[in-house]
Structure 1
Amino acid sequence: MNPNAEPNDQPAIKISKSESKSKSNPKRSSNMGQDSAAKSPWTGCSQFLPTTQKIIQFSDGKSPNPGDKIVYVAGAFDLFHVGHLDFLEKAKKLGDYLIVGLHTDPVVNSYKGSNYPIMNLHERVLSVLACKFVNEVVIGAPYCVTEELLEHFKIDVVCHGRTPIALENGKIDPYAVPKTRAIFELIDSGNEMTTERIVERIISHRLEYERRNQAKEKKEIEAFEALQRQKQTQKAG
């Protein structure tokens, strides 16, 4: 499946922390949650309705200064966790200004499969914006890092973690362009936490909870039946 293939292609939206503060009118908060991305087949349980005010509340940063070294990373950043935090901290140390590209729900589902992402795009945007190491977020970033993207944001370094990189259409390396430019770097966050591990932990704890309850229920039923037999014996006597 093509990670870039979507039913309704929409241009990526850039959210700069400082711009969201300076250009937004608190009295004119517009609803961003009425499109299919807000409640998708991959995140169907969410009733989250983001607004510009919510984005402003999570935003607190600056625009890049002349001469700043700009670092770019991209991904799902689903169920934002300490592994993401450590990765972004190390990415930020490679430059002065960190831009995070967030893939849309269909794109994430195409390369992660199953029921991912757990959080929809808007929820993931706010989670990443809340990270102190992040200066700017690109909403609906392209899966492949293109020449146009690098030029538009004047990117100096492109980073990726140690997690496997899914090829587009099973053939194209999404980081081929930055690798050709020799601006691609792999980062080892030093943290083994992943979204998949969190999901596995939740499922494991849920199953253990169900096993405990089933065992408890079985004992209660056995005790009740024993009490009933005792009463019947007493009546018969």
Structure 2
Amino acid sequence: YVAGAFDLFHVGHLDFLEKASKLGDYLIVGLHTDPVVNSYKGSNYPIMNLHERVLSVLACKFVNEVVIGAPYCVTEELLDHFKIDVVCHGRTPISLEDGKIDPYAVPKTRAIFELLDSGNDMTTERIVERIISHRLEYERRNQAKEKKEIEAFEALQRQKQTQKAG
């Protein structure tokens, strides 16, 4: 079992899910609701809504089942209901619920918790940073082009005025 936001599904998610799938014969992925993701990732997240994130995860060949609206804290009821043998988390930092409660306390107590390193450092935040960086570069490039176009237009206007005067 793994749980998370899986926002802007990317190769880092894919590598993590592939690695997690190798720890058992059936991979269940819990997806947190939009308000829950917002509470631990911040005001601009999630970028994709829960429905879009579910469809992205379901399309992954390593995933057998999705729990929509999974609890942030992995509970005994969840583990027992789905007969979960292993709970995995990747390298992203674990946010404590209400700043105090470890969401993986129950699986850790049962000694079924594993930290997985997918070997891939791609994150949703890196994708967002890349988009912002490219947008800023695009704006700078277009401002330079606009400046040249304005200068060319003004030069053409001056040339026309000179021709009329002469």
What's the CA shift for 1:85? 0.1
What's the CA shift for 1:77? 0.2
Q: After TM superposition, what 4+ stretches of structure 1 lie above 3 angstroms from structure 2?
A: none
What per-residue deviation string (whole Å, max 9, x for no partner) do you get for residues 90-131 of structure 1? Answer: 000011100000000000000000310000001100100000
What per-residue deviation string (whole Å, max 9, x for no partner) do you get for residues 143-163 of structure 1? Answer: 000111110001000000011
Name the residue aligned to 2:66: 137
What per-residue deviation string (whole Å, max 9, x for no partner) do you get for residues 202-222 of structure 1? Answer: 111111111111111110010
Q: Which moved more, 1:201-210 or 1:186-195?
A: 201-210
What's the CA shift for 1:231? 1.8
What's the CA shift for 1:235? 2.3
Q: TM-score under structure 1 normalisation?
A: 0.69
What SS class does the counterpart of residue 233 from structure 1 fall into?
helix
What SS class does the counterpart of residue 169 from structure 1 fall into?
coil
| In structure 1, distance between residues paired with 2:22 and 2:61 | 13
Q: TM-score under structure 2 normalisation?
A: 0.98
Q: 1 or 2, which has the higher helix percentage?
A: 2
Residue 36 of structure 2, aligned match among 92, 104, 107: 107
Name the residue aligned to 2:54: 125
What SS class does the counterpart of residue 95 from structure 2 fall into?
coil
What's the CA shift for 1:230? 1.6
How many residues align structurally? 166
CA-based RMSD: 0.7
| In structure 2, distance between residues paired with 1:92 and 1:110 | 28
Unaligned runs of 5+ in 1: 1-71
Unaligned runs of 5+ in 2: none
What's the CA shift for 1:140? 0.2
Q: Which moved more, 1:201-210 or 1:98-107?
A: 201-210
Identity, in percent, stands at 96
